[in-house]
Amino acid sequence: MKRYFKKWPVFIAVFLAAFAAFSLYYENKVSARDKNIYKEIKMFNEVLDIVQKNYVDDVDAKTLMQGAINGMIKTLDPHSQFMTPEIYKELEVETQGRFGGIGIEITILKDVLTVVSPIEDTPAFKAGVKSGDQIIKIDGKSTKDITIMEAVNKLRGPKGTKVTITILRENMPHPRDITLTRDIIQIKSVKAKTFDDHIGYIRIASFHERTAADLQKSLTEVAEKTKPMKGLVLDLRNDPGGLLNQAIEVADMFLKSGGIVSTRGRTKMMETKITAKNSGTEIDVPMVVLVNEGTASAAEIVAGALQDNGRALVIGTQTFGKASVQTVIPLENGAALKLTTARYYTPSGRSIQAEGIKPDIVVKF
C-alpha cells in the first residue's frame, strides 16, 4: 500500500503534464485564429479611443459603432446588411407587400447599384426602367460605394414626392435622368386570366407572405372558368423573388414528387433538401413557365424546380442569377442582421448564382 501511495504524486504529475500538453495543442489548434481576432479587436479599440479623443468634431459613439459594423458586413456580399430598428421595420413592411417608393428591386452587381427588376404597374415600371439598368446617381449624388439599404432609404419616401435616378443601360451612349413620383407600392402578388382554348394564365409578380394562398385561390378560379383546363401558363417575368418558403409552397402546388430546392451553408443547420409532397390536389395539366432577365431569387427556385422535374417547359431569356439565402437575425434594441447563410441549388444540383436559369426555348419578349 505504501508503494501505491508513493506513486500517486508521480501519476498526478504525469496526468497534469499530459493534460497541459493536450490543452496547449488544443489551444494552439483551435485558438490561434481567436488570438488574431483579439489582436484586431485591441487595435480597433485603440482606433476608436483615438478618434473619440482627438477627432476635430465630437462624434457620437453609437454612430461610430454602427459605421464599423456596416463596414464589416460590407466586406461580405451585397445582400448581407446590418439593419437599424427603423430599417428592420421597413423590411417587415416590404414582405407584407405594401410600402412607399418607386417600385424596383435592386442589388449591387460588380460594385454598381443595379436594377434586378421593376415591379409591375409601379412608377419605375411605367417610366421604362429595366432589369440590368445601372443606377449611377440618386438625386444627382453618386451611388459609388452605396449599400443596398442606403439606396433603399434614398429611393423610398412619401407618396407624391419626387426622386431622380440617373441610369446607364447597355448600348446607351449617355446616362439618362429619370424623375419619378413616389407612390404607395401595393404589390398584387398574383393575377390570373383565361384564354378561349381552355388555357389558364397565372402571373406572379413577387413572393410575399400571401403569395401561396393567393395562388391557390387563383388556380381554383381559373380551373373553374376553363373547365376542363388543358394547359397553364405561369408568368414569372420581372419577378424579383422574395420569401423562400413561399417559393417552396408554390412549386409544391405543381409537383407530386421530386426535389424542389436544396440549400448548403457552412453550418449543418443550413443544409436542407426540400421535396414535393403529394397532396392529391396538384395541378397536372401541361405547363409553360415564362422567364426573363428580371426573374430572380425565389422566382428562379420555382422555374428551376419545374424545369428539372420535367414538369414545365421554360420559355424566355436567361434569368438574373441570384441564388443566395439570407437569414434575418434579430439583435438587441430592435436592430437585426440580414446575413447570407447559404446558397440554394436546383433539384439537379445546379447552382444558379450569377448564371441564372437557361430556358428550354429562348424567346425575347
Q: How many secondary structure helices (H) and strands (E) does the chain include?
A: 8, 19
Query: Which position among 297, 324, 348, 358 bears the catalytic label?
Result: 297
One of 308, 351, 360, 364 is an active-site residue; which one? 308
Which of 352, 266, 339, 299 lies closest to 69 in space, CA to CA? Answer: 339
Per DSSP, 334 falls in state G
DSSP state of 267: S
Query: Of 183, 322, 324, 338, which residue is the catalytic one?
Result: 322
Question: How far is Cα 205 from Cα 359, in angstroms, rounded to an integer?
Answer: 19
Map residue 145 onto helix, strand or coil. Answer: coil
As given in the structure block, the three cell numbers for residue 125 are 415600371
Ordered alpha helix ranges (H), 55-144: 61-74, 85-95, 123-126
Block residue for cell numbers 386570366: 193
Q: Does the annotation count 297 as an active-site position?
A: yes
Contacts of 279 (CB under 8 A, 6+ apart): 252
Does 322 participate in catalysis according to the annotation?
yes
Residues involved in catalysis? 297, 308, 322
